Amino acid sequence: MLVVFSTALMTLDHRQQFLGDIRSAISVLVYPIQALVSLPVSASGWLGENLSSRDNLVDESEKLRSQNIFLKAQMQKYISLEIENIRLRKLLDASERVNDRVLAAELLSVDLDPFSHQVVVNKGSRHEIYDGQPVLDAEGVYGQVVHSMPLTSNVMLITDPAHALPVQVNRNGLRTIASGIGAMDKLELLHIPNNADVQVGDILVTSGLGGVFPSGYPVAEVVEFTPVVSQPYAKVFAQPKALLDRSREVLLVWHQQNIDDMPEVESVKAMPEKSTESQE
């Protein structure tokens, strides 16, 4: 009779769900028993947490603090590596745009003389570096090698007062000379008439004249054009495209027509009389 009664209850509950309220009421009545059964385990955990010695808590706190500092240091390193990776990707993209032979180099030191904008890179004559060799970064023309040693080379930036670079306006081909004036963010464009077709925003590229810098490399962007009525030439200034005060990696370029006669190339050949006299 019990088996038949139980089977009937299960069948009715399965089909009509009429025992749900009864089960809910039973679970409320049984909950104190369940809580009483689990009380020893909960009590032991509570006692363990509250009776822990102060030394254990201090040790655990020190370990967590050390781990936190270590993770923060690692995060800073990862951020530095990410930024370096971005710079290298830009440099790689620049090398792909260059058709001539190139070699990547890294800056070793910067000349602190405010009147001389020069850096030292970790490539020299043992890597076939020669005096007068063009140097680029990921954005544009960086400078040129002025003195190559076996393992290192001195590079003069395009903003150095002794440096001058033949350029042309990319929009119309107007040729001029971009001369360094000692300011890291400014070049002066020489001998441009007051009525010349030069506009703010024009991009200057290497003209290829002088035989050192190949043509077509971005150099600067015109940021100021001021006609001077009392003089035949206007005041024209441009901002270098290269990140002269931030780049850590540069590209040393072998111009295709100069590869066969690299030892004969001299730095002063790329500079007009003003630059040559300054170097002498």
Q: Is the pLDDT of residue 197 over 70?
A: yes
Region for 246 from its dihedrals, namely left if φ exceeds 0, alpha if ψ lies in -120 to 50, beta otherwise: alpha
Report the alpha-carbon distance of residue 26 to residue 237 in Å, rounded.
90
**Please, which pLDDT band fits residue 26 given cuts at 50, 70 and 90?**
confident
Q: Tell which CATH architecture fits domain 102-279.
A: Beta Barrel (2.40)
Give residue-wise pLDDT tens across range 40-94. 877 777 777 776 666 677 788 878 877 776 676 566 556 656 666 776 777 766 6
Nearest Cα to Cα of residue 160 among 275, 35, 25, 24: 275
Report the alpha-carbon distance of residue 249 to residue 261 in Å, rounded.
26
Q: Which two tokens stand for residue 221?
A: 């962007």
Q: What are phi and psi of 75, to 5 degrees?
A: -60, -40
* pLDDT score, position 259: 47
Report the alpha-carbon distance of residue 266 to residue 280 in Å, rounded.
13
* Tokens 């024209």, located at residue: 236
Query: Hey, which residues does 110 pair with through a beta bridge?
Result: 119
**Please, which pLDDT band fits residue 269 given cuts at 50, 70 and 90?**
very low
Q: Which two tokens stand for residue 45?
A: 């955990």
**Please, which pLDDT band fits residue 268 given cuts at 50, 70 and 90?**
very low
Q: Where are the domains of the chain?
A: 2-50, 102-279
Element (DSSP H or E) covering residue 239: strand 235-240
Report the alpha-carbon distance of residue 96 to residue 193 in Å, rounded.
37
Give residue-wise pLDDT tens across range 238-251. 999 998 988 888 88
Q: Is 0.85 surpassed by the pTM of this model?
A: no
Report, as an integer, the average pLDDT of 122-150. 91
* pLDDT score, position 100: 66
Report the percentage of the chain scoring pLDDT > 70: 76
Report, as an integer, the average pLDDT of 203-218. 86
Report, as an integer, the average pLDDT of 154-179. 92
3-class DSSP assignment, residue 46? helix
Residue 253 makes CB contacts below 8 A (sequence gap 6+) with 98, 100, 101, 102, 133, 134, 135, 136, 214
* pLDDT score, position 265: 36
User: In terms of residues, how long is the chain?
Assistant: 280
Q: What is the mean pLDDT of the chain?
A: 80
Number of H helices, E strands in the chain: 4, 12
Most confidently modeled range among 19-28, 126-135, 258-267: 126-135
**Please, which pLDDT band fits residue 36 given cuts at 50, 70 and 90?**
confident
* Residue 100 one-letter amino acid: D
Q: Are 135 and 244 in contact (CB under 8 A)?
A: no
